[in-house]
């Protein structure tokens, strides 16, 4: 179950009993795709001032480490290194109190945390508390896959599970085998077996209707003028199914089932893509209240929070995986794109709780200060690589290009800008730490456009969850714009 063509194929999914199928902030070298934006994004009067004194990276690191957020992140990193703590995109080992000698599973998933098929397997291992190791591999459209992985899995496709040395591919097959091998926390109740299969077929119908709506041009015919109506009617059925049993989940109970995991990774992407390309808001609506309740329940679960992306990241990572989205020309689409692209939202003062485009539930909103301090901590932790990465904004394209726009892992940075970029990033971190940035109202001067392009190159490539949480990413993007305005 993965997409290799412009329009993903739709395969029927059936859960079978007794299945034993055998199937065989760190900014990295591979930058994420984005729609290139003009860097000012702002108004007309240059009124933004930057601090006169800029601290060293070591001084900034000390300040960041002393904040409550810094202390919390440091403690989480310590636990993570031991295979414990909360789930996180950078974790390499998850033990749940077991010994490393007890680990039978290795999950091979995408490096950035953007693959929906990897996401559902990843969440299942977390929900079932199965001890596992993690190996992160590039998706094909973002860079080369390592030779050792291709030797192990010639197709190169993700996700891959290695169980007791046996290679298993295809996400639903993997999920079935995990359920059968580790039954202590069941995720497919026996009494709802038939219902589960019915809902899995409905999920494939929803997936097909989503493809018809977003990844084909609007117009007459079943994939044009009627595509929105078809999608909405199927979404109504999904919403109704979520209201048939007590609780927020498809199969009832207090915890999500495999059916919930099968749905959530693609519905999460539908939230972003339907709004961005079709002006169709799926969240926070009375019509789909059960789906909203379902998402609210997921947003309380660490397994989902750790794997969840934001709308901007999704509208940039969806086309390399699924093909281009086709925009309607409505005012709703124009407004949504202004907000999701950041033209109307990546400005200071920033309202994290605003639900104009993408809702941020209270359970995922740490507050302005914590978001600022997380962004600062993450940038500091890899500052040397980030500085060089920014310099790609005035550098040369790589010798080999990949499918994702501007995913250019072999790009050559122009290190003539390193000193200026370094100083401006330290300035950005200082503003994040002390909260002294005002209102973004500036326009970049001609003499500052080159170095501003370097900062914009980073701003447009901050990905969730790869680099940081959504609140921290929004905050860092807005502060980079503030500094861009000032220069």
Of 181, 198, 227, which one is at a domain's C-terminal end?
181
Catalogue the E-assigned strands of 111-211.
132-137, 160-163, 166-169
Give yes or no: residues 194 and 176 share one domain.
no
List the end-to-end C-alpha distance of the chain, in Å, as a whole number. Answer: 47
Q: How far apart, in whole angstroms, are the C-alpha atoms of residue 288 and residue 361?
A: 17
Residue 98: give its domain's CATH number: 3.40.30.10
Query: Two tokens at 297?
Result: 């329940």
| Domain range for 382 | 364-485
DSSP codes of every residue in 235-290 = HHHHHHHTTSSSSSSTT-SSS--HHHHHHHHHHHHHHHHHHHHH----SS-STTHH
pLDDT at res. 409: 87
Give yes or no: residues 206 and 324 share one domain.
yes
Give yes or no: residues 199 and 177 share one domain.
no
Q: How far apart, in whole angstroms, are the C-alpha atoms of residue 15 and residue 159?
A: 18
Give yes or no: residues 202 and 308 share one domain.
yes
What does pTM read for this prediction? 0.89
Residue 358 lies in a domain: no
Give yes or no: residues 329 and 198 share one domain.
yes
Q: Which of 464, 345, 373, 482 is nearest to 424 (CA)?
A: 482
Domain count, the chain: 3
Residue 16 lies in a domain: no
Residue 421 lies in a domain: yes
Give yes or no: residues 300 and 389 share one domain.
no
Give yes or no: residues 330 and 240 share one domain.
yes
Q: Are 211 and 198 in contact (CB under 8 A)?
A: no
Residue 406: give its domain's CATH number: 1.10.490.20
Q: Are 50 and 486 in contact (CB under 8 A)?
A: yes
What does the DSSP 8-state code read for residue 299?
Answer: T
Query: Two tokens at 21?
Result: 């199928």
| Cβ neighbours of 135 (radius 10 Å) | 16
Q: How do 105-110 and 132-137 pair as beta strands?
A: parallel
Helix locations, 29-103, DSSP H: 57-66, 68-81
Per-residue tens of pLDDT for the chain, all 487 residues: 333 333 333 343 444 444 333 333 333 333 333 344 444 444 333 456 787 778 999 999 999 999 999 999 999 999 999 999 999 999 999 999 999 999 999 999 999 999 999 999 999 999 999 999 999 999 888 888 999 999 999 999 999 999 999 999 999 999 999 999 999 999 998 899 999 999 999 999 999 999 999 999 876 544 456 999 999 999 999 999 999 999 999 999 999 999 999 999 999 999 999 999 999 999 999 999 999 999 999 999 999 999 999 999 999 999 998 999 999 999 999 999 999 999 888 999 988 876 567 989 999 999 999 999 999 999 999 999 999 999 999 999 988 888 787 688 889 999 999 999 999 999 999 999 999 998 876 555 666 899 999 999 999 999 999 999 999 999 999 999 999 998 8
pLDDT at res. 286: 96
Q: How far apart, in whole angstroms, are the C-alpha atoms of residue 278 and residue 273?
A: 8
**Cα-based distances in Å from 239 to 187, 236, 288:** 21, 5, 6
Residue 420 lies in a domain: yes
pLDDT at res. 487: 86
Signed CA dihedral, 229, 233, 234, 238: sign only: positive
């Amino acid at each position: 179950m993965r997409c290799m063509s412009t329009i993903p194929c739709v395969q029927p999914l059936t859960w079978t009993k007794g299945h034993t199928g055998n199937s065989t902030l760190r900014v990295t070298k591979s930058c994420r795709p984005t729609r290139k934006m003009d860097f000012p994004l702002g108004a007309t009067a240059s009124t933004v001032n930057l601090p006169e004194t800029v601290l060293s990276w070591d001084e900034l690191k000390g300040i960041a480490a002393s904040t409550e957020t810094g202390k919390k992140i440091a403690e989480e990193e310590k636990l993570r290194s031991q295979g414990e703590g909360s789930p996180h995109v950078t974790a390499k080992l998850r033990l749940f109190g077991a010994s490393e000698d007890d680990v039978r599973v290795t999950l091979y998933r995408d490096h950035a945390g953007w693959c929906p098929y990897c996401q559902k397997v990843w969440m299942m291992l977390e929900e079932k508390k199965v001890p596992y190791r993690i190996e992160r591999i590039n998706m094909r459209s973002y860079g080369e896959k390592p030779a050792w992985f291709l030797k192990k899995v010639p197709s190169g496709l993700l996700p891959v599970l290695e169980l007791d040395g046996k290679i298993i591919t295809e996400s639903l097959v993997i999920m079935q085998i995990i359920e059968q091998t580790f039954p202590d926390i069941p995720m497919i109740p026996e009494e709802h077996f038939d219902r589960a299969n019915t809902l899995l077929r409905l999920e494939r119908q929803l997936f097909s209707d989503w493809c018809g709506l977003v990844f084909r041009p609007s117009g007459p015919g079943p994939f044009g003028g009627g595509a929105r109506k078809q999608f909405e009617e199927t979404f109504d059925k999904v919403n109704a199914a979520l209201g048939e049993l007590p609780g927020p989940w498809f199969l009832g109970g207090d915890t999500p089932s495999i059916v919930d995991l099968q749905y959530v990774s693609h519905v999460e992407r539908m939230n972003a893509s339907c709004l961005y390309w079709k002006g169709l808001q799926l969240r926070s609506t009375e019509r789909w209240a059960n789906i909203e309740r379902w998402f609210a329940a997921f947003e309380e679960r660490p397994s989902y929070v750790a794997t969840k992306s934001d709308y901007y990241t999704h509208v940039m990572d969806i086309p390399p995986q699924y093909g281009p989205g086709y925009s309607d020309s409505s005012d709703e689409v124009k407004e949504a794109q202004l907000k999701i692209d950041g033209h109307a939202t990546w400005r200071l003062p920033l309202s994290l709780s605003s639900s104009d485009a993408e809702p941020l539930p209270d359970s995922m909103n740490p507050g302005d200060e914590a978001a600022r301090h997380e962004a600062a901590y993450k940038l500091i932790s890899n500052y040397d690589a980030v500085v060089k990465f920014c310099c790609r904004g005035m550098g040369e394209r790589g010798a080999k290009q990949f499918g994702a726009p501007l995913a250019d892992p072999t790009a050559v940075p122009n290190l003539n800008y390193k000193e200026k970029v370094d100083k401006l990033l330290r300035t950005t971190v200082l503003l994040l730490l002390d909260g002294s940035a005002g209102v973004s109202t500036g326009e970049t001067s001609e003499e500052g456009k080159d170095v501003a392009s370097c900062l914009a190159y980073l701003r447009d490539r901050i990905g969730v969850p790869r680099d940081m949480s959504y609140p921290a990413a929004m905050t860092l993007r807005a502060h980079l714009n503030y500094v861009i305005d000032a220069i």
